[in-house]
Amino acid sequence: MFFSIIVPIFNVEKYLRQCLESIKLQTFQDYEVIMINDGSTDNCPKICEEYTRLDKRFKVIHRKNGGLVSARKVGAEHVSGDYVLNIDSDDYVDKDLLEKLHNQVEMYNPDVIAFSYKIVDESGEFQSVINNSIEPKLYKENIERIKQSYMYDKNIYGHNGGSLIFSIWTKLVKRDIYKECQTLVDNRISKGEDTILNLLIVDKATSMLVSKIDGYNYRLQPTSMTHVFNEKDIENQQFLVESLNKIKVDKPSFARQIEMYIFYSTYMMLQKLVNKNTNYRQYKEYVKKIVDARIYENLYSDFLYNARLSEKIKVFLIKNNIWSVIYAYFKFSLK
């Protein structure tokens, strides 16, 4: 078996057939599909069963809802292919995606292929192509270039601010690496789980092909554009930080990227918590919750004294009104 495709599924009956059909019609046929029905309450379970009857390569596992991370872990336990690919159940792929990926594996035999993707709207209308920010080629002896710039690179202005797209569905990964790394992602993380998984994979890989293949179609739904956000996400961010801090890396520059990701993503979280109606008392409460969770530990000193911090991010923080609240908290110990 060459490819194992993991498809986590939860209440997406509107899009599921298009997703599964796009896999079924692949021009390259040597693959299996592990569908994880994560407690769907719509017609997804019936659709999954239908595909298992239509095509013996499709297998379904029904389970109680446990979230995306745990669903992917279940999928990882059942893969048998040489390489693992994730496809989200509300997205779909071009019919030649596997064929193109197979050709590149045959040519370069990398641990990982990091490829591009297309953004489509809810109806499937093409919007744009998103590429990785680093030069497309095989990285082997020079893979440290990726490891040192995966999450943050001051010399690159890319989709995620680093050299690679964060999404796991833009990665084809050798089975053993994928299984090991997926196991290490905390089930409690509901936002940022791909960043953790990709960071583990990048650290483990000894070779990576950065490719401009763009056969994955990411469906930009209305809910995707207006990300619902609430205080529960502070808890999620705490789990995210704990997971990042557990990752052991040898390179100081790579470790610094972990700090930068915590710094930047937590700040963006605080941005989303506030709006034009938020009063000063609420500002203080939000900041205190985050600081009490130890997410902003050493942030103030980093901002003032760490010359390695991007000037762009410094200016960004200074211009935003929320920074004055963080500054006040650290300077005057607001309670």
Q: Which string of DSSP letters, residue by residue, matches 154-210?
A: TT---SSSSSS---GGGEEEEHHHHHHHHHTS-TT--SSHHHHHHHHHHHH-S-EEE
| Whether residue 173 is found in the same domain as residue 316 | no
Q: What does pLDDT average to over the chain?
A: 79
Residue 137 half-sphere exposure toward CB, CA atoms < 13 A = 9
pLDDT at 299: 46
Q: Of 87-101, 159-173, 236-250, where does mean pLDDT reach its minimum? A: 236-250
Tokens 């499709």 -> residue: 58
- Alpha helices per DSSP H over the chain: 13-24, 44-54, 68-78, 97-108, 144-147, 175-183, 193-204, 222-225, 232-246, 252-273, 280-292, 299-305, 311-319, 322-332
pLDDT 10s digits, 198-254: 988 998 999 999 999 999 999 987 544 334 445 566 666 667 667 766 776 555 555
Q: Which residue has the higher pLDDT, 296 or 272?
A: 272
The CATH code of the domain that includes 96 is 3.90.550.10
Query: Model confidence over 38-90: pLDDT tens digits?
Result: 999 999 999 999 999 999 999 999 999 999 999 999 999 999 999 999 999 99
Alpha helices in 205-231 (DSSP H): 222-225
What contacts 54, CB < 8 A, 6 or more positions away? 24
On the question of pLDDT at 190 being above 60, the answer is: yes
Same domain, 213 and 244: no
Q: For residues 197 and 307, state if they share a domain.
A: no
Instruction: Catalogue the long-range contacts made by 93-97 (C-beta closer than 8 Å, 24 or more residues apart).
Output: 93/22, 93/23, 93/26, 93/215, 93/216, 93/217, 94/22, 94/215, 94/216, 94/217, 95/22, 95/25, 95/26, 95/27, 96/26, 96/27, 96/28, 96/215, 97/26, 97/213, 97/215, 97/216
Residues 196 and 253 in one domain: no
Domain match, 203 and 273 both: no
Note the pLDDT of residue 110. 98
φ, ψ at 310 (rounded to 5°): -60, 135
Residues 194 and 322 in one domain: no
The Cα 187–Cα 20 span in angstroms is 26
Of 191, 173, 190, the closest CA to residue 182 belongs to: 173
What pLDDT was estimated at residue 187? 87
Q: Is residue 158's pLDDT more than 60?
A: no
- Shared domain for 309 and 165, answered yes or no, is no
As a whole-number percent, the residues of the chain with pLDDT over 70 amount to 64
Average pLDDT estimate for 86-102: 97
For the beta sheet containing 117-120, the strands, ordered from the edge strand earlier in sequence to the opposite edge, are 92-93, 216-219, 117-120, 126-130
Say how many domains are in the chain: 2
Domain end position, chosen among 225, 257, 291: 225
Residues 174 and 205 in one domain: yes
The reply to whether 220 and 280 lie within a common domain is no
Tell me: pLDDT of 331 over 60: no
SS3 state of residue 9? strand
Interacting residues of 87 by C-beta distance below 8 A, sequence separation 6+: 5, 6, 7, 19, 23, 93, 169, 216
User: How much is the average pLDDT of 252-278?
Assistant: 59
Q: What is the per-residue pLDDT for 213? A: 98
Within this chain, do residues 207 and 297 fall inside the same structural domain, yes or no?
no
pLDDT at 31: 98
d(CA 101, CA 109): 11
* Count of CB atoms situated within 10 Å of the CB of 276: 4
The reply to whether 194 and 264 lie within a common domain is no
User: In this structure, is the dihedral angle defined by the CA atoms of residues 236, 237, 242 and 247, taken in order, positive or negative?
Assistant: positive
If you average pLDDT over each of 36-50, 155-169, 176-190, 310-324, which comes out highest? Answer: 36-50
Q: Parallel, antiparallel, or unpaired for β 92-93 and 216-219?
A: antiparallel
Amino acid at 15: Y
Domain containing 316: what range? 232-332
Taking residues 295-316, report their average pLDDT: 46
Mean pLDDT value of segment 283-308: 52
- Quick one: DSSP state of residue 259? H
Q: What is the residue whose two structure tokens read 């035999």? A: 109
Of 38-52, 114-128, 306-320, the one with minimum mean pLDDT is 306-320
**Which of 177, 203, 225 is where one domain is finished?**
225
Chain centroid, CA 308 distance in Å: 25
Final residue of a domain: which of 204, 225, 246? 225
Confidence label for 22 from pLDDT (cuts 50, 70 and 90): very high
If asked whether residues 35 and 154 sit together in one domain, one would say yes
Mean pLDDT for the stretch of residues 4-19 = 96
